[in-house]
Structure 1
């Protein structure tokens, strides 16, 4: 005979000739040769020594077990005293009923979305991660969620989780921040056949992701072409001189023409501007000549005004000196002084009359 002791945290299963006979609990037992006892820790999952389904036909044994059967396309999350302890896949499982309280959450992973009863805080749990897939959307993005090739919903910023299954999942992301598109090197003919090269820019933001992604392909390229054509249409309607006069209106006119098209693309135009209007070399040379001529004409006009003012001043001075002998004499002295500043020495040749004339000049009169 053999002696077997079953402790308080254990349960024993007695087999005879490989057939289940009975269950024993806490105590000491004696068994004949040919009988075999399997002892189990009731705080651990039950690992059946033979086919579990056969053992569960015994109602006594079945009553002390929590039995869970997991079908295809399912998972069962086993919580022990509120903590996730195991993720059960397809099969049949048994757990001892004990002071450890088991709770089971059954989920259908054939449905891609994760039910609310699964705590989001568990999505990073090492036991659950192998069964999940995740995609992130930046705070400044919106994304169209495609499942099996069709759009399901529009996602905003955040991290999203789905069950791993046969369904395909893809995101088409759109940056919703204000973006700038450069429209450079546009060679356009004016109405009078002057060839210009324009550099422009536009700032825009995507407001309707359904239109931008689902209803249109390459919305940014379409926006570029629309702006390009609007520029050509506007510039081609004016002569070069008219265009240069209306250049302040150019940006507003083009923006207004394209706004309706942009709305159809799901885009809102924030601002549009023309950075450069580059003229051909020949036209630039002619315009430079015109500019130089205009500046020369302005300079000549200023000189003529100054000469007129000087003449008027001299005339006024002459009138004053005509009526005032002292003022006349002072003016003579001023000119003599200026002449003297230029002379280093004086050699006088002549008779006494010349000396008398010089004396007369320096006399008070």
Structure 2
């Protein structure tokens, strides 16, 4: 990342070609330095190509005729994976998007051992992800955390071969088939509605039991029943009290 290769008749390189992850800004290209090697930028390593041999420099050195220099980015970067639509074990596709956190630790291997080092890491992670998803049912991707350890291990093996260390694999998104996702949503809504209806029924049972208990108490206590009746009268009501006499023979 951050370097351009060139080929010339003198040094076996013909024209500048971007390596993996280059944005085309030209910040790091194979280029000559008349007197001394360039000063390393922060987070970069300076490489020298001399007579077809690439060397990492630890400090500034005097240049020779034909020397070419480049700076390789050693800072942490993300290798973004495009959304991967992969069939599960039950032949239902899921779409997964990942990113890998990587950093170059061997810039010489990164430049000389592969034409596209990040592409090799990407491919290894992609294949491992497909194998992982192919072996799991669709239910394994619903409401659970996916174990991406096999993907991380495959990416690390491929990365080490090109001078890169992959530290983590980041799960960005998991999308289920539309029909399955819609069915899950309907089932969830039905579950919530049933819980609401059940709670209403429980409250109605509690209310009915409370009313029956109150009626029983009032039946056993006539005076209390009269008091409750008086309390229920609206404000401004007139009460007429009559005293019934006892008739004798």
TM-score (norm 1): 0.51
**CA distance change for structure 1 residues 131 and 331 in 2, over 3 Å: closer, same or farther?**
closer
Q: In structure 1, what is the equivalent of residue 100 of structure 2?
A: 202
**CA distance change for structure 1 residues 335 and 212 in 2, over 3 Å: closer, same or farther?**
same
Structure with more strand by fraction: 1
Partner secondary structure for residue 83 of structure 2: strand
Deviation at 1:205, TM superposition (A): 0.9
Segments of 5+ residues of structure 1 without an aligned counterpart are 1-129, 342-357
Q: In structure 1, what is the equivalent of residue 57 of structure 2?
A: 155
Answer yes or no: is the 8 Å Cα contact 2:86–2:94 preserved in 1: yes
Q: Which has the larger radius of gyration?
A: 1
Q: Is 1:185 the counterpart of 2:92 in the alignment?
A: no
Deviation at 1:292, TM superposition (A): 0.8
Aligned match for 2:205, one of 308, 313, 317? 308
**Counterparts in 2 of 1:262-341, with a 5 A limit?**
262-337=159-234
Higher relative contact order (CA 8 A, sep 6+): 2
Q: Is 1:213 the counterpart of 2:114 in the alignment?
A: no
Q: In structure 1, what is the equivalent of residue 17 of structure 2?
A: none
State the Cα RMSD in Å.
Answer: 2.9
Q: In structure 2, what is the equivalent of residue 249 of structure 1?
A: 146
**Counterparts in 2 of 1:55-70, with a 5 A limit?**
none
Q: Is 1:232 the counterpart of 2:130 in the alignment?
A: yes
**CA distance change for structure 1 residues 146 and 190 in 2, over 3 Å: closer, same or farther?**
same
- Render the CA deviation track for 1:180-209: whole Å, top value 9, x for unaligned: 121132111111122222221111111222
Segments of 5+ residues of structure 2 without an aligned counterpart are 1-32, 243-249
Deviation at 1:173, TM superposition (A): 3.1
Deviation at 1:325, TM superposition (A): 2.0
Once residues 330 and 134 of structure 1 are traced to their aligned partners in structure 2, the CA distance between those partners, rounded to angstroms, is 105
